[in-house]
DNA sequence: AATGAAATTTTTGGGCC
DNA sequence: GGCCCAAAAATTTCATT
């Protein structure tokens, strides 16, 4: 992970479909070198994949909410089963498993408020392991598409 | 947004770098047709972009947290400025602007717990508009990379 | 490791159904 | 709106440094 890898990663996070030739030019290396670097980044698992970003309203998903849920018992089995089954629901964008007073934060989308309400009644109210949940409407969700490496933890330089 | 568009979108969300020819074959159309569909999806803004997904530990981001913050006054100016400045911090992955008892949820990453703590003390404690914040550690974050359109709101069929 | 050029594959666009 | 086909462009490989 040198400066070159970082620059290449930045490009691929910004636009994963731009030609290898364009990336090579921007970071100042030959296309073949760039391609080899990208191949290694993928092989080492630094790049996990390439995904299209889709506008949620175009998918009839104009309403977003964060659902904070607590489950009981908080056992390995119940946690794993919650993660698995909830993350597979079509309305669910992501599941955060948390330390704190809420066990999970579930980022969900629906066509509108009525559908959101119906979804929660159908999929959350009925679940026996869910002790309680709170729903918070999301007005806006801003995402940082491009992430650079953070400076290594100071331990790794001093020791 | 017919079945074909949905199938193409699914492919591009799964792997945005697979050749157009491969997508065409999987959804059962000619490559030129597929390319034209993709071009239109982009033009209509359904596809917002293509991004590489990067492993957070490889970027020295092994710790994730959700920070729930409340600000005062909750004016248009303060909200906009919070969104703008906080989303630009390198540790911040995304900012959710919320309805509810918390005004924002901020998804942050750091090298480790010590760096997370330092980041919060440096960037949150000092801010004058932040009334309070709570930090919740994230054990795991599962994401649904592939989203299909939800069925259109029932209004649009009956009326 | 990086380069440059050759071989292969993919994308692109016009004409036709 | 979709398909076929030829030209253009991009990717990939590999011998060389």
User: Is the pLDDT assigned to residue B158 strictly greater than 60?
Assistant: no
Do B76 and B134 fall into the same domain? yes
The CATH number of residue A8's host domain is: 1.10.10.10
Q: A58-94 burial by CB neighbour count: b if 16+ within 10 A, else e?
A: bbbbbbbbbbbbbbeeeeeebbeebbeebeebbbbbb
Q: What is the pLDDT of residues A92-138, one digit of tens each?
A: 999 999 999 999 999 999 999 999 999 999 999 999 999 999 999 99
Classify the phi-psi angles of A135: left when phi > 0, otherwise alpha if psi is within -120 to 50, otherwise beta.
beta
User: Is the pLDDT assigned to residue B5 strictly greater than 60?
Assistant: yes
Do B63 and B116 fall into the same domain? yes
**Residue B37: its H or E element:** helix B31-43
At residue B154 the predicted structure's pLDDT band, cuts being 50, 70 and 90, is confident
What pLDDT is recorded for position B138? 98
The answer to the question of residue A146 being in a domain is no
Give how far Cα A49 sits from Cα of A81, A99, B29, Å.
26, 28, 25
**Residue B106: its H or E element:** strand B104-110
Assess contact for A20 and A151: CB atoms under 8 A: no
User: Is the pLDDT assigned to residue A157 strictly greater than 80?
Assistant: no
What pLDDT is recorded for position B68? 98
Q: Using the beta-carbon criterion (under 8 Å), do A100 and B136 form an inter-chain contact?
A: yes
Domain that holds residue B33: 3-43
Do A19 and A60 fall into the same domain? no
C12 nearest neighbour residue (CA to C1'): B32
Do A66 and A26 fall into the same domain? no
Do A71 and A38 fall into the same domain? no
The answer to the question of residue A153 being in a domain is no
A20 touches strand C (CB under 7 A): no
Instruction: Provide the CB-side half-sphere exposure for B25 (13 A, CA).
Output: 5
Number of independent structural domains in chain A: 2
Do B79 and B116 fall into the same domain? yes
Q: What is the pLDDT of residues B107-146, one digit of tens each?
A: 999 999 999 999 999 999 999 999 999 999 999 999 999 9
Q: Identify the residue whose tokens are 């090298």.
A: B111
Residues 7-46 of A with CB under 7 A from strand D: 19-21, 31-32, 35-36
The answer to the question of residue B51 being in a domain is no
B94 touches strand D (CB under 7 A): no
Q: What is the pLDDT of residues B71-95, one digit of tens each?
A: 999 999 999 999 999 999 999 999 9
Do B13 and B86 fall into the same domain? no
* Cα torsion through B40, A108, B144, B47, rounded to 10: 10
Q: Which two tokens stand for residue A4?
A: 């070159």
At residue A159 the predicted structure's pLDDT band, cuts being 50, 70 and 90, is very low
Do A23 and A67 fall into the same domain? no
Do A29 and A98 fall into the same domain? no
The answer to the question of residue B30 being in a domain is yes
Nearest CA in chain A to B20: A17
The answer to the question of residue A156 being in a domain is no
Do B61 and B133 fall into the same domain? yes
Q: How far is the CA of A28 from the C1' of D16 (A)?
A: 21
Cα B114 to Cα B110: distance, rounded to the nearest angstrom:
9
- Of B62, B94, B106, B66, nearest to A153 (Cα)? B62
Do B131 and B87 fall into the same domain? yes
Do A81 and A126 fall into the same domain? yes
The answer to the question of residue A66 being in a domain is yes
Q: Using the beta-carbon criterion (under 8 Å), do A16 and B51 form an inter-chain contact?
A: yes
The answer to the question of residue B150 being in a domain is no
Q: What is the pLDDT of residues B32-80, one digit of tens each?
A: 999 999 999 999 999 999 999 999 999 999 999 999 999 999 999 999 9
- Of A71, A95, A68, A69, nearest to A84 (Cα)? A95
The answer to the question of residue B149 being in a domain is no
Q: What is the pLDDT of residues A21-55, one digit of tens each?
A: 999 999 999 999 999 999 999 999 999 999 999 99
The CATH number of residue A115's host domain is: 3.30.70.920
Q: How far is the CA of B39 from the C1' of D6 (A)?
A: 21
Q: Which of A7, A35, A90, A96 should be substituted to probe chain B, the one whose Cβ sees the most B Cβ atoms within 10 Å?
A: A96
Q: Where on strand C do bases come within 7 A of a protein Cβ?
A: 1-5, 9-14
At residue A156 the predicted structure's pLDDT band, cuts being 50, 70 and 90, is low
pTM score over 0.85: yes
Other beta carbons within 10 Å of A95: 26
User: Average pLDDT of A140-154?
Assistant: 95
User: Average pLDDT of B4-17?
Assistant: 97
């Amino acid at each position: 992970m040198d400066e070159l890898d970082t620059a290449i990663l930045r490009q691929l996070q910004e636009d994963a479909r731009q030609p290898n030739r364009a990336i090579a030019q921007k970071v100042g290396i030959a296309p073949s070198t760039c391609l080899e670097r990208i191949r290694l980044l993928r092989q080492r698992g630094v790049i996990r994949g390439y995904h299209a970003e889709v506008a949620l309203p175009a998918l009839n998903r104009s309403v977003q909410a964060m659902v904070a849920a607590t489950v009981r018992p908080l056992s390995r089995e119940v946690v794993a089963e919650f993660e698995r089954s909830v993350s597979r629901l079509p309305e669910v964008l992501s599941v955060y498993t948390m330390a704190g007073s809420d066990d999970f934060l579930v980022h969900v989308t629906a066509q509108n408020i009525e559908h959101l309400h119906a979804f929660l009644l159908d999929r959350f109210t009925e679940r026996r392991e869910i002790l309680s949940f709170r729903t918070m409407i999301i007005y806006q969700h801003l995402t940082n598409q491009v992430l650079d490496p953070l400076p290594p933890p100071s331990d790794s330089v001093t020791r």
